[in-house]
Amino acid sequence: MKLTASNIVKAIMSLPKEQWFEYINAKTRSQVRVKSAAGPEGPIYVERKNPTKKGGAVSKATLSSPMIWRIANAYAPNVPINFDRVLAGSYNTRSLLEALLAHTPEFYWCVPGRIELLNNSSEIKRGHKHIVWMPESPHENGVLTESKFGSEQAISEIPTQAIIYDSLAITNTSLPAEMDIDVKRRHLQIQIALLEIGNQLGFRTWIAHNDKGFMYGKKRVGELDGVIAKLSDERVLASYEEAKVAANLIDCIWFKNGRLMPAVMEVEQSTGVTSGLTRMKKFQDLGPRLADIRWVIVAADEDRAEVIRKANTLQFQSLNTKYFSYSAVEELYSLCKRRNLTNKAVNEELLDCFMEPCLSGLPIH
């Protein structure tokens, strides 16, 4: 199950109107209530007050969409989350979001144990306040509820791995007039991560022809290890001239053993989802009918709903599209690099653990 910003906003906006809600920490006397939301993914506008202070002045605050998305991306069912850790202490409204979310039916507060490592021994000590998402066990709406399940858990706080990319040489003259350099840089960074994942799993990787000339570190992208120079070098496409033309500008294609294509991927950082789906559909119509091709849209986590909506339109049903979020790409990339995963150690089923099927079975016309 995947939590999104729109899920969080919907849950918070379903709280009883005009009701003041307490913070989880009993020592905090402040209260918060919801006023409105600007859209399905926020921001959410709230008010807060401290009734113990003389006058009980009410102040306004905003729960931003980026903050809501950062929290949504951190969640998996039944896994306690520490807001301060996820948000790295940023956003001075994080306690407001935490308090409101904890009052919605699918979220509970808990204090899981903390595993403290000392030399070669470990000890479980009392931990910090966490919020756990339990979608299968909702409680009464608007009621702050502690999860005994979450409090019985223990957390080993291992630092997350940072993803570091080499420098990318991009100039305004190398881009279309309407494209921002930072947008293109992010697009290329994700392509590089996909290339590195492919290398670890024993794939050869096609990178879109118009992206091969950019400098990454001290090499052009087209000169990096594992990058295919020409599509005609791949036997699986040898008899499909029109398909090779259609694939020329597809962002990333993985090839295996000269006769398989584990994935065809479009990275949607700057263009609409429809353009990527259209390129893949054309390639599918003109290319070899191979089993087990994954047709994949790679996009930012906040674009998930749009990817799934477009993938379910009737014209793209045959792709059986999968969604590969940026956070999932970088999680797999980090895992491959840290653990030196190879195609001898894992099979392609690992990829499916990181990609989400898009089809709902209900096509949108």
Same domain, 204 and 343: yes
- The amino acid at residue 207 is I
The distance in angstroms from the start CA to the end CA of the chain is 26
3 state DSSP class of 283: helix
Same domain, 96 and 234: no
Domain annotation covers residue 280: yes
Q: What are the beta bridge partners of residue 49?
A: 31, 58
Same domain, 272 and 314: yes
- Total tally of structural domains belonging to the chain: 2
Same domain, 142 and 183: no
pLDDT at res. 270: 61
pLDDT at res. 271: 65
Which residue range is the domain that position 82 belongs to?
A: 5-110+134-146
pLDDT at res. 121: 65
Tens of pLDDT, residue by residue over 115-130, are: 776 666 667 777 889 9
Closest residue by Cα to residue 321 from 348, 357, 354, 347: 357
In the chain, % helix, strand, coil (3-state, to 5) comes to 35, 25, 40
Tens of pLDDT, residue by residue over 55-68, are: 778 999 999 999 99
Place of tokens 């995963």: 341
- Using only C-alpha atoms, what is the Rg of the chain? 24
Q: With contact defined as beta carbons under 8 Å apart, do 146 and 109 qualify?
A: yes
pLDDT at res. 128: 86
Contacts of 146 (CB under 8 A, 6+ apart): 108, 109, 110
Same domain, 218 and 273: yes
Q: What are the beta bridge partners of residue 255?
A: 204
Domain annotation covers residue 216: yes
44-49, strands of its sheet edge to edge: 21-22, 31-37, 44-49, 58-63
Same domain, 138 and 225: no
Q: With contact defined as beta carbons under 8 Å apart, do 227 and 221 qualify?
A: yes
Same domain, 105 and 205: no
Residues (pLDDT < 70) of the chain are: 117-122, 157-161, 176-178, 270-271, 345, 361-365
